[in-house]
Chain A
Amino acid sequence: MVAVLGCALVCLQQQSYAEKIPHGEYAKMAIKECNDCHKGEGIAPNHDADFLRGHRVLAVKAGNNCNQCHQQKWCLDCHQGGGTGDDLGQSNFGRDYKPKSHRSDFISIHPIKALDNPQQCYRCHEAGSFCNSCHSRFPKGSLRIKSHLMLGTNGQTVNWAIGEHATEARRNLQSCQTCHPEGDVCIKCHSSGKTRPHPRNWKAGNFRDRSNGKVCQKCHLPGTF
């Protein structure tokens, strides 16, 4: 198999293939001129108003020529929160700069914005630790989450059934993790022998093997899973 692959590689190397045009020398051109040339070559214009939303597809390895014009700084100023003040329109969150997708009072509107594709927060922020560093400070019941609204005559009781926590959790489980990173509150009801939390076609062995059984042992006794 290795020999076949090796021969294939040698054969492929003997042939000549088209190389992408180096773009570094065009870095300071107007976008309109870029688009005219792209259209002429049958390549879709980019760096347009849709770039913030769509650049993920362009930035993977295949076809990536970002580094001909940009250093990694250009990515990380947004992805890791830095900046040397080039863009006056760029705001701060504390000492970090933040992208324009985080507009106005983002602390207040982020529960809504975070629902627009729940995966996108994790492209820049580590799941759990980043969110939890803020959420852990909130006193119980202070967050205005539908499933957590306090009921009862004293306003101090959480009614899980009325609060639709199961429906909410299935739609937006990431938000549970932001306040309960270890899931202890979930395990109270969902541990072994109680309400089963697993999806249909649950691949228990895959998770057991990868976590050395540690995840399973949060609910199940050793040797029972």
Chain B
Amino acid sequence: MGLQWILRTLACIPLLTATTAWSAEIHGRSSTQFLWFDNASTEKKQAEFAQYLNLSITNIDEAGKLSFYGYGRATQDVRNGEGLNGRVYYLYADYRDLYDKIDLRFGRQFVNYAAGSALIDGGQIELKKAGPVAFSVMGGRNVFFDLDGEATSSRDYVFGAAAYLTGIKGTDAELSYFLKFDKDGVARDQIGGSFKQYIFNSLKVYTNARFDLPSETFSELLAGVKYFPRSNLVLTGEWYQSYPTFDSTSIYSVFAVNRYQEGVFRADYAFNDKVSINAGYNRQDYGAGANADVFEVGCRIRPIEQVQVSLNYDHRSGYGGKLNGGIAEILYEPIKPLELAAGIHFDVYERDRVTGEETARKYWGGARYKLRRDMSASVRIEDNVNARFTSDWQGRAAFNYDF
């Protein structure tokens, strides 16, 4: 199915080019890549060519209301005989401001409501400018992917509706509904809500919730405050809880589960254009006395204009295991068209006392050169040293053309 979409899209490109005579604008990116990696399924080294195409066609009609957007890829394995693979991320027509009030979008697209999100083959209609409230309805085939490709079955569908505020300064609010079907019936039936309020010029209060109708519980509930006394300082406090809920058509929906809760506190501060730091603490509660603590610190430093250093570290201990690790990366632009980058990921982890501590490291380096304003070539190579590999090289080379 995914491959058919890609081939259809590619077949349409010459026709789309012809529309330039009507002053339509065609922009996008073609990315031709070569990737080599360890295939986790077959545990063999795999090498593939990939072709990405990201396309937008705007100003198709005289009023500039109709546009098309598409994004997909095709890959060809050249080593293990896995052959041609494809994935269409989106491909939709967008018509804006019908009667100056309605936006229409049809095709494969990503939809995100507070009640649920999905990639759909279908449509979304938005009634905006109905006073301070806008309305949205959507529906279509529910598209999802597993490791090998599209895993949607013939009876996977989603539908949803949302009402949200658009015209009140400093206030955002949404109430939405999300319904998902699979081959056995109604899999998800949820109400979602989201609210944000900016007050006193330095405070943001927000909440986000999903209510699961079959189990009659809040499957997710988030309440948070952001305090920003200055433009370079943000203090965040959040409380979040969830009851793991499953599709109503899954046997797992009938089991009793514990409530998960977490409290987050973090601070983000920018000293100046050259140095910014962040630190956070997360307390996790899994019920029945099981807890975990996560501490996190990070900084971004720009000692000179051409160099950017990024450091992140977190420490987790408690239920589920211990994890100590982080990422260090450096980006350097010696001359304008050239970008060099390198980094290391380092983790020491212990899942339980029986297994003891193990270490995982990833070393990577890369370079990108801008050949022209609309052309660039890049290469990225990494080596993984961990419990599974003493050395595992993988990487990609890409040539991008913007049009």
Contact = CB atoms under 8 A, between A and B. Distances in A.
A49 B354 contact: no
A142 interface: no
B255 to A, nearest CB: 5
A95 B35 contact: yes
Nearest to A196: B256
Contacts of A12: 130-133
A171 B288 contact: yes
A109 to B, nearest CB: 5
B323 A197 contact: no
Given A12-B130, A89-B329, A183 B252 contact: yes
B71 A82 contact: yes
Interface in B250-267: 250-258, 260, 262, 266
Contacts of B104: none
Nearest to A203: B216
A146 B290 CA distance: 14
B57 interface: no
Contacts of B222: 57
A84 B55 CA distance: 12
Contacts of B186: 210-211
Interface residues of A, number: 108
A116 B284 contact: yes
Given A61-B136, A73-B89, A214-B249, A88 B378 contact: yes
Given A100-B327, A109-B323, A134-B147, A44 B284 contact: no
Q: Which of A50, A100, A172 has the most CB atoms of chain B within a 10 A radius of its CB? A: A50
B254 A170 contact: no
Nearest to B207: A57
A113 B147 CA distance: 20
Interface string B313-337: 0001001111101110101000000
B188 to A, nearest CB: 9
* Chain B interface extent, by class: 35 or more
B87 A109 contact: no
B2 to A, nearest CB: 11
Contacts of B172: 62-63
A149 B352 CA distance: 11
B398 interface: yes
A197 B268 contact: no
Contact of A103 (B114, B325, B352): B325
A107 B114 contact: no
Contacts of B254: 197-198, 202, 207, 215, 219
A203 B243 CA distance: 15
A71 interface: yes
A60 B164 CA distance: 10
B184 interface: yes
A27 interface: no
Interface string B212-245: 0111100110101010101110101000101010
Contacts, number: 380
B394 interface: yes
Nearest to B245: A119
B323 A44 contact: no
A61 B114 contact: yes
Contact of A170 (B144, B258, B316): B258
A84 B109 contact: no
Contacts of A128: 250
B169 A60 contact: no
Q: Which of A35, A76, A170 has the most CB atoms of chain B within a 10 A radius of its CB? A: A170
Contacts of B215: 199, 203, 206
A69 interface: no
Nearest to B196: A63
Contacts of B339: 88
A134 B260 CA distance: 26
Nearest to A56: B208
Nearest to B117: A123
Contacts of A20: 166
Contacts of A19: 166-167
B224 A57 contact: yes
A3 B216 CA distance: 32
B351 A17 contact: no
B304 interface: no
A45 B131 contact: no
Contacts of B240: 117
Given A79-B110, A197-B254, A115 B151 contact: no
A173 B260 CA distance: 12
Nearest to A201: B216
A167 interface: yes
B41 A137 contact: yes
B247 interface: yes
Contacts of A15: 131-132
Contact of B234 (A44, A127, A130): A44
Contacts of A54: 236
Given A49-B276, A60-B114, A174-B244, A104 B388 contact: no
8 contacts: A12-B131, A60-B192, A104-B361, A104-B386, A130-B146, A170-B257, A197-B255, A211-B184
Interface of A: 9, 11-13, 15, 17-20, 30, 32, 35-36, 38-40, 42-45, 48-50, 54, 56-57, 59-64, 71-73, 75-76, 79-85, 88-89, 91-95, 100, 103-105, 107-109, 111-113, 115-119, 123, 126-130, 133-134, 137, 144, 146, 149, 167, 169-174, 176-177, 182-183, 186-187, 190, 197-203, 206-207, 210-212, 214-215, 218-219
Given A32-B270, A79-B110, 7 more contacts: A62-B172, A88-B341, A103-B325, A172-B286, A183-B252, A206-B216, A211-B248
Q: Which 9 A-B pairs have the closest CB atoms?
A: A12-B131, A17-B167, A63-B172, A105-B360, A183-B251, A39-B231, A62-B174, A199-B256, A85-B398
